[in-house]
Each structure stands twice: as C-alpha cells, then as structure tokens.
Structure 1
Amino acid sequence: MIRHANADDLDTIAAVHLAARATYYRGHVPEEEFAGPRELARTRAAWSGAVARGQVLCAERDGEIAGIAAYGRVDGVMTLTQLHVRPDRWRRGVGAELHAACVAAWRAEGVTTARLEVFARNERAQAFYTTHGWTPDTATPRSGTHLVLRLTVDPTTE
C-alpha cells in the first residue's frame, strides 16, 4: 500500500533513509556524513519539511514502512529528491511501486519531465532508474558526486 506520510512516521522515515544510504555511502564518504546522531537529527528535520508539504510517500508492507519517496519542484523542475527502500525489503517491488506512485502524481499535475541525482557509485540504484526509463541528463550530466538523470513523463500512460 502507498500512502502519504504524516508526522508520526518521521522516526521510521529517518531510520529507513539512514539504513539505505549506509549501504552505498559506506567506504566512499566519511561515516559522519550518513550516520550518527547529528546526521539523524538533520535527516529527520529535512524529512519533516517534506512531510509537511505533502511531498512524501510511504510504501507499507505487513503494517510497516518498507520504503519512502520524496519529490517536489527544485528550480521549477519536478525532482525525485529521495527514494529509499529498507535493505531487507529490496527486490520485492517496493521501489517500483513507490516510483509508479510518484510518476502517477506527476502525471496528475501535468508534469512532462522530472530529474533526480544518484550517487555515482550507487550502481544498484542506477540500474533501477534505467529500468524505469531514466536517462542521463546530457545538459548537466553530473552534480558533484552524483549523476543527473531525466525522465520523460508520458501523459497518456496510466
């Protein structure tokens, strides 16, 4: 089941975010940038704002949050800012369901293109996005340590 997040979900959302990020950042960036109490507080605060704006979706499985996604306009462009699945729920369709819900929301808003940034060393996520139609942004292929991808949102696909 996909639903909008609420303030009661923030601790779980932050935990899912940190657990997922640790799988691809560990060994590539300093641990304090993705783990620890300071990062947990920063992460929770950031998600709190997105939840308040109604821009966070949760995928529930067996009564628990198994994945999360956040999106919104950045510089006028619809941006998938986060999509994380609990590592113990990978390869079970959670990410695909979240992705489809985001695309459906964008389509309902009349969005025709979206962007995202993915950590250049996160090959698993890159493969996921490629499977779902995302392609490299030829105008701006990188943003620091991240690759920039674009998605054309087909208004006729349901």
Structure 2
Amino acid sequence: MISDRVADALVIRTALSAEAETIGELHFRARSTYYPDGAPQDDIDWTEAWRGSIERPDVQVLCAVAHGRIVGIASFRTPEGASAETVKLFQFHVDPGRWRAGIGTALHTACVEEWQADGRRTAVLDVHVDNRRAQAFYARQGWVPDPEQPLGDGDHHLCLRYAVDGE
C-alpha cells in the first residue's frame, strides 16, 4: 500500500536522456542488494546503457520521482521475436533506501496502465534467482512462473509472466 505522504509527492513520468547517470546509479545500488557478494564488476557503462535505452524509440523508460529525486525506474519493450501483444519488463528498480514505501507498487501500476493502453495482453520478465525480495513483490502484483520457460539446473534467472488483460 502506498502511503498518503508518498502518493502526494510521487510523480511517474518518462525518463529523460539527461537523467541516464542518475538512473544508472540507482540501478547499480538496487542490483547490488541481491548478489551475495555485491553486484559483479562488469565492463558495462550503465550511464551509456541507460541513455541508449531512453533514446531507443521502441523502449519505454518510466521513472518515479519523489520530491525532485528519481526513486524508481522501469524499462520495457516488445522482446525480439515476440508478437506486439507481448511486452518484456527489462528493468524494474526502486532505490533501496525507499523500499516498502509503495513506490514499486505505484510504478508497477503505471507500467500496467501503459501496457493496457498499448493493447498488450501478456508481460514477461526475468528475475535473478537470488532476488527473493523482487520475486515476492512480483507475486503480490500477480506475476507467476512462466510455464513455457521453467527454471532449469544452473539457471540464474526465473522467468515470470503477467496477464495484462486479466485473463
């Protein structure tokens, strides 16, 4: 449940290219929480990766802003080879310092509203197997394990599915 204080101050809008560095930093902070030894060091420039996503015409990037500060992000698009009725939630993060304040629920609701407006019927996502907090969040929102992509031995991501159209 979103608190009245957060609801009054929260704005969800399309991200801007100029915000890529802030979004990349939030992404890294959130991602670091579900790896046992912290986020793996990789050669990805998250600022440039987010700028690229924000600027892609086929990607939607939403951000949740509270009191002028980005506190949540979500990115989604039609996955390669899928029908236009399917959308993939590629990234969904809330600033760890703001967990349990209703920001994720509000951001998820905004995503679903966009998907419904775009005529999507199904949403899919991959969640890291060690990210139990996110798995519980998605379950509360109505996401279920994708029967077409069961978790296999050695898999690091669990595939989830959401019925956008409620069926």
TM-score computed with the length of structure 1 as normaliser: 0.88
Query: Residue 45 of structure 1 is aligned with which of 42, 45, 48?
Result: 48
Equivalent position of 2:6 in the other structure = none
1:96 aligned residue (68, 87, 105): 105
Percent identity between matched residues is 44
Where do 1:62-81 residues align within 5 Å? Answer: 62-75=67-80, 76=82, 77-81=86-90
Identify which of 145, 149, 157 aligns with 1:140. 149
1:104/1:26 Cα in 2 relative to 1: closer, same or farther (>3 Å)? same
- Partner deviation per Cα, 1:103-126 (whole Å, 9 max, x = no partner): 100000100001000000100000
Matched with 2:162 is 151
Q: Which one has the bigger helix percentage? A: 1
CA contact (8 A) 1:78 1:111 kept: yes
Q: RMSD between aligned alpha carbons? A: 1.8
Q: Which residue of 1 aligns with 2:63?
A: 58
Q: Separation in 1 of the partners of 2:32 and 2:60? A: 23
In the superposition, the TM-score normalised over structure 2's length comes to 0.83
Q: Say whether the 8 Å CA contact 2:127–2:157 is kept in structure 1.
A: yes
AA aligned opposite 1:127:
A
Where do 5+ consecutive residues of structure 2 fail to align? 1-10
| CA displacement 1:10-54 (0-9 Å, x = unmatched) | 11000000000000124276x314xxxx43x1x222211221135
How far apart in 2 are the matches of 1:26 and 1:14?
Answer: 20
Question: How far apart, in 1, do the equivalents of 2:38 and 2:18 lie?
Answer: 32
Structure 1: gaps (5+ residues): none
